[in-house]
Chains A and B, each alone.
Chain A
């Protein structure tokens, strides 16, 4: 424990100046960032690389600090002979040193995120992250494809079940429409009824295929849905699976969202350290660092880890935990654990 705490404090000390230098850099990047036009705007599609820079540099500094702190991570480091024979755990202590480094990096990234958020707020950004959409597809209550068609006037409505535990605040419909006759073009009008109550004040017009139709209403429990045709028009309108979604919104604090975005950079950093645990025993410190930086940048640019997506979600004001990045994070964690498991037989044996 002595050394674990010492490694954390050592890494923190080594990260002090990088954080001091990188905070203004992150401010500068933020100040020059174009404002997102709307929710679909991928923030900084032109600035994306620059937005990554402060967090990536801090991660790189953290990895360098871990390499300095633990002599057995790379080959022939000063002091390594004192430790090599002592059989320090399955990874020669490299795993624990990496965890200590990750903790130190997390502290540095949180400081940077707080500075970033402070500047963002001084520029007038909302303290609340944009309402986050939770979407749950509704299930059609029919075995046949749910469709409204004037050629089958007996079926004027389609029923769906909503199996959610939360209250609904809206619906997203994306109907698939097929024009039945070339020479006529008359739109279909529908009404949406939730648990027996009409949810739309005005009839909903369906005139294009796959067009997103958003319906918002005060929060309410929603168990069943009915889409009723007021007039059929000249379309056959179907609702394939996933095209009827019940929505919910949540308010979250943007500061926490910013911290989560910053902490997502720990995943490529951890992956880099896992790569060093696997290969660093036979590489010099410089080669190990180069390997780590390559993994760090490659993961970010190739979206192998969810940090780039998390940054974009933050920029769009989406609440990161509900933006579907959990699975990607789990995949990254699985890859990290796999690398560490592969590293164990390399590390635990005596060097030849």
Chain B
């Protein structure tokens, strides 16, 4: 990757889901700007329905924005060439419950255009990397949620991508597997790769993300390193160095001030609250 080239460049991105059968249209993203640099991990934070998954879907090429511009590795989002340059781990279960992990990766690899010999080597490597060798003979439908999530990450890593787009990569994983995923992401970054990940797990965001972007109701409310976010009080209340009881006290104080505790995200050291409801 050209070190000066942005891995992801998003400008004024809008997405409007049209209404149907009497239900109103939904503005899922409203003018979102975003940049991910080479060798950087950017975390997307936000409450449910804030537009995180929609943003990742657009960047992965599965959805088309209504307005705005999204460029991935110098190409327009959705470009065919990006299929093998970028890994995407969406939310939800895997397709094809009748396949075995190796067959699933072979199928996706063939769609990504990986040649047979390379695909075989890459399949073995990613299964080993995600410690999935032991379940090679089990069918996907018989795998637990955590194992399916790991296999989804293995599929994202299959083409040796320059960029990973991950939606809740540790959701459903046990602590050991979460740690493994974090290590893999750090290693990926060390190799020059970029990552954009949405997460509700602030502890993991704290650990691996260089910067975070906060989305609320489809709009970007804040962006920067954790230290930068802690220094702003405009839209986001952030506190650091709090233990659990300290965090609880902040929550109580916000509630007393008329704010909502919805959207609180607690990490090991940090606490974020979205202040849209505060007077």
Contacts and interface: CB of A to CB of B under 8 A. Distances in A.
A87 interface: yes
Contact of A79 (B62, B83, B93, B111): B93
A170 interface: no
A88 interface: yes
B95 A79 contact: yes
Nearest to B66: A352
Interface stretch (A3-11, A266-274, A322-330): A3-11
Interface string B83-94: 100001011111
Interface residues of A, number: 22
Contacts, number: 65
A134 B111 CA distance: 51
Given A86-B111, A351-B64, A352-B66, A81 B103 contact: no
A6 B95 contact: no
A302 interface: no
Contact of A6 (B63, B91, B96): B96
A85 B60 contact: yes
B263 to A, nearest CB: 25
B62 A87 contact: no
A37 interface: no
Contacts of B223: none
A206 B93 CA distance: 77
B61 interface: yes
Nearest to B80: A87
B64 A352 contact: yes
Given A79-B94, A352-B66, A85 B61 contact: yes
Given A81-B62, A350-B62, A6 B99 contact: yes
Contact of A82 (B66, B80, B90): B90
Given A2-B107, A3-B107, A350-B64, A85 B95 contact: no
A350 B111 contact: no
B152 A2 contact: no
A351 B63 contact: yes
Given A6-B103, A350-B61, A350-B78, A83 B95 contact: yes
Contact of B62 (A3, A9, A84): A84
Contacts of B78: 85, 350
A79 B107 contact: no
Contact of B98 (A9, A81, A349): A9
Interface of A: 2-3, 6, 9-10, 71, 77-88, 349-352
Interface of B: 57, 60-64, 66, 78, 80, 83, 88, 90-96, 98-99, 103, 106-108, 110-112, 152, 155
